[in-house]
A = this chain, B = another copy of it.
Amino acid sequence: MLNKIMKPKTIAVIGASTKEHTIGSDIMKRLQEYNFNGKIYPVNPKGGIIEGLQAYTSVLEIPDEIDLAIIVVNAKFVLSTVDQCHQKGIKGLCIITAGFKETGAEGAKLESELLSKIREYGMRCVGPNCLGVVNTHPDIRMDGCFAESLPERGNIGFVSQSGALGGGILNILKDLNLGFAQFISIGNQADVNAETALEYWEDEDDVEQILLYMESIQNPANFRKLASRISKKKPILALKAGRSAAGASAASSHTGSLAGADKAANALLAQSGVIREYSLKNLFSTAKVFASCPIPKGDRVAIITNSGGPGIMATDAICEYGLQMAKITDETKEKLRSFLPAAASVKNPIDMIASAPIEHYKQTLETVLADENVDMVITIYLPFLGLKDIDVAEALMEIKAKNPTKPIIGVFMTKSEFFSKLSDMKVNMPFFMYAEEAAEGLHRLNQQRLWQNRPEGKIPNYNVDRVRAEEIIKQSISEGRAQLTTRESIDVLDAYGIRVCKSGFATNIDEVVEVGNKIGYPVVMKMTSKTTSHKTDVGGVRVNIQSEAQLREEYNDLIAKLTEKGLIEGLEGVIIQEMVKGNREMVAGIATDPQYGPMMMFGLGGVFIEVMKDVTFRIAPLTDIDASEMIKSVKAYKLLEGARGTTPAQMDQIQETLLRLSQLVSDYPFIDELDINPLLISEKTGEAIAVDGRIKVRLDEAVDKLGGCVCSGCSECCK
């Protein structure tokens, strides 16, 4: 797919230059310095010798087939250059040149013309406005990029949306001794974007983990489909910038991408199994951990230290990340006691005390790794007289080499020289300066473990009454109403099999009894009158009616009282409603993000929505696993479980409610907002009952999809 770009045998650098400190010169230098394994053909209208190679005045003159053209000519020549590339039969482009979409309307037009050509010619293109591409595989060795540093070989596939930042990142990676396999600076992502890279790397064995720097996600649904599949095979870490409103607005001014609501992005990444980091620093330390640690079998951590303080700090961090402190077996404790001094503590954290020699580090680590209760290990070293950090590190790596299945992280609170030394060595485990970094790393490994073990999940297809739902919506849009009435909203929910508060209208005793019996007791009866608005004051609301007999009695009494008071004239009838007693008010619904589309919402409802913000979001459609995770992820889950002797909520039924809502918005993607508030949890049965509902559609889209019109009975379309 991207082989022509990422694994070329021949590269033409169009716009190669002899002028120092220009991209056309730097790219040439880089390709050569990094010993590109294929052939490089500089192209410059002036010809001549560039970096020791004969330059061609046009790509058409090159007497060889070209896999990849790296284009650095001025923006105004890009289109004609692409034409020539096509003529030459080139299928892979990397356009470094800036001056496209990022500069405004004119540039956007140019970019759209460029894209048309690329599509027409059947090419793939990285950029424009990018930093280039890199592949460190020994068979390729392509550094087609103008960052300061030469690339370091490793297992990372890196996609950067910001060109400049990408360069900075390559520098830092080099410093951190964090190598990568392939790097793609997608720039304006006219053609190749993060999703293309993900898909390409899915089966590239060379790429063992994928890092993304993103400011926007182009096609959320496709991203989700790809990422959720690929993240099961290899970890995907992402830094998505533009989280804050101000940050998003800055992002949009600079790349022209839409300001994505962060809660939608967050939901999407979580559902895709992408590990989201909030700073480059954390992105890199997590990458460092994935670079040399296996995925653990569980979340139980043992800490080995030669000093109390850091052991405590590591314990704090482990607990704060929700990992477990491993319970060391008695057997292990006994073994440890056999060689550690009496003052040592063999309880986790295992404190070998300051006098611990290298031999104790080795023996302790080996013993602890053998413990079946231990899934991961942090080993801490604080410098003490006569013990060299690098020797300790080597000893740990020796044990690690013999025990490859459990993650081990070293915390070395020593001079930074140590880390510089390490970066010149081949290391088989990560080392950090601080305990918190190690804990975060283990947390991420565990997150990946949980994701890999997470069942696929299914999007169920319920039997629903589409005809009825559609009729109701059509009625509303035919009247030009984007907002359905409460009654209509509740009826649509009912048509989709969502448990709503039952009710019915009756105008005489027979109907009253019929409706009452149909709903089932207890019921509430409320009069509706054209003349009397204060129902309660005239005894027009009767609650807790327990039987047909009582219902008859209450209805007759109501009629009698109204007659007596001379109010019977205005009476239209009575509404008979199921009497729902609930002590837990939840909220469920749908919100639409302009970029990410429909999002499902669930959480604590009532007056607490805005105050507690105990609400979670997922991108639709939901799988059963998504829905179940939504329910468990809110704090109010404890209330649902039935704290203080209340009836536990019917979790399956709540889950089904969310899944049915998800099906509803999949069927009618023009639903803009939907709120069930409250979704009342019955005190008695624990059922979740939609007591109030509100649906709003995007009128034009709805008309498009369902037909009909938005007029109210014109002669033209409403025949």
Q: Chain A interface (Cβ within 8 Å of chain B)?
A: 21-23, 26, 103, 146, 148-149, 161-162, 164-165, 167-169, 171-172, 174-175, 213, 215, 239, 241-248, 250-251, 253-255, 278-281, 306-313, 315-320, 325, 343, 345, 347, 349, 351, 354, 382-386, 413-416, 433-437, 583, 607-608, 610-614, 635-636, 638-639, 643-644
**In the complex, which residues of chain B have a beta carbon less than 8 angstroms from the beta carbon of A644?**
607
User: Does A254 lie within 8 Å of B351, measured CB to CB?
Assistant: yes
Can you name the residue of chain B whose Cβ is closest to the Cβ of A25?
A: B385
20 chain-A/chain-B pairs, Cβ below 8 angstroms = A23-B385, A162-B309, A164-B354, A164-B384, A165-B382, A167-B382, A168-B307, A168-B382, A168-B383, A241-B316, A242-B316, A243-B320, A247-B312, A247-B315, A250-B349, A253-B347, A254-B311, A254-B345, A279-B317, A613-B635
CA A687 – CA B309 in complex, angstroms?
A: 48
- The answer to whether A316 and B415 have CB atoms under 8 Å apart is no
Q: Which residues of B contact A386 (CB under 8 A)?
A: 21
Q: What residues on B are CB-neighbors of A278 within 8 Å? A: 316, 436
When A and B form their complex, which 7 residue pairs have the shortest distance between CB atoms, in order from nearest? A162-B309, A244-B319, A165-B309, A254-B308, A164-B307, A168-B413, A247-B316
Q: Which of B171, B242, B255 contacts A415 (CB 8 A)?
A: B171
When distances are taken between beta carbons in the complex, the residues of chain B under 8 Å from A614 are 612
Q: How far is the CA of A644 from the CA of B251 in the complex (A)?
A: 35
| CB nearest neighbor in B for A164 | B307
| Contact partners of A245 in chain B: CB under 8 A | 319
Instruction: Tell me the nearest residue of chain B to A351, going by C-beta.
Output: B254
- Asked if A308 meets B164 with Cβ closer than 8 Å, knowing A281-B434, A319-B246, A639-B607, the reply is yes
- A636 CB → nearest B CB, Å: 6
Q: In the complex, which residue of chain B has the Cβ closest to the Cβ of A99?
A: B343
Q: How far is the CA of A614 from the CA of B635 in the complex (A)?
A: 11
Contact (A415, B312) CB under 8 Å given A250-B349, A434-B279, A610-B638: no
Q: How far is the CA of A175 from the CA of B148 in the complex (A)?
A: 25
Beta-carbon contact of B607 and A635 below 8 Å: no
Least CB distance from A620 to B in Å reads 26
Q: Cβ of A343 and Cβ of B103 under 8 Å apart?
A: yes
Please tell me if the beta carbons of A436 and B281 are within 8 angstroms of each other in the complex: yes
List chain B residues, Cβ under 8 A from A213: 309
Q: Cα distance A636–B608 when bound, in Å?
A: 9
Please name the residue on chain B nearest to A640 by beta carbon. B611
CB distance from A243 to the nearest CB of B (A): 5
| Bound-complex Cα distance A433 to B168 (A) | 10
Task: Using CB atoms, name the residue of chain B closest to A240.
Answer: B316
Instruction: Give the shortest distance, in Å, between A131 (CB) and chain B (any CB).
Output: 11
Of A345, A414, A611, A643, most B-chain CB atoms within 10 Å: A611
